[in-house]
Amino acid sequence: MARISTALAVKRAVARARQQHHPHYTPAPIIVRTRPAGVHHPKKKHHGRSGGLLGGGGGLGGIITPKRIGVGLGALVLGFLQKSQVQIPALPILGEAGTIALVAAVLSDRGKFKLADDVATAAIAVALHEFGQTGKVTGVGEVPDPSGYGGGFVSGF
């Protein structure tokens, strides 16, 4: 058998002596703490209510949207402006509805004032409708036919 070095023998003897003098001393157990693997939960499905005509979720995706309500209110204001006794000057190329659209677009300040923006959108739609239907716009000296049957315009009414 091979001899061990003196230093190693002394070291072992000291270790044995320490164990004999302190029999109650035992090293603390090593506890390894690990987090349990995260349990994968599937994403929760949110079943919102469809808002009827106003909300999405239906087959049509909401018939009445806030933009359409705004344009409808703009058309209402346009109708009140055209019906009122206030004389609105009409530019020759644009006509009455086109002039109202231009003034409302300037007043809307690039969409900051929503009602004026919606009035401009509705007035542009009305002006283009008039132009598409008759080939001209209601302007200087032209008023819509009050009977409603002719579909044209009566000048000098």
Q: Which residues of 134-143 are buried (b: 16+ CB within 10 A; e: fewer)?
A: eeebbbeebe
> ∠ at Cα 156 (155, 157), nearest 5°?
95
Collapsed DSSP state (helix, strand, coil) of residue 83: helix
Is residue 124 domain-resident? yes
Is there a domain that residue 26 lies in?
no
Domain count of the chain?
1
Domain that holds residue 136: 66-140
46 within a domain of the structure (yes/no) = no
Predicted local distance difference test score (pLDDT) of residue 157: 39
Determine contact, residues 57/47, Cβ cutoff 8 Å.
Answer: no
The confidence score (pLDDT) of residue 93 equals: 79
Residue 74: predicted pLDDT: 84
In a domain, 108, yes or no: yes
Q: Is 116 part of any domain?
A: yes
Query: For residue 143, what pLDDT is reported?
Result: 54
The answer as to whether 52 is a domain residue is no
What's the average pLDDT block by block, 10 residues per block, for the chain (157 residues)?
80 79 72 81 73 55 78 84 77 81 86 85 86 74 53 46
Token reading at 156: 């000098």
The per-residue pLDDT for 45 is: 79
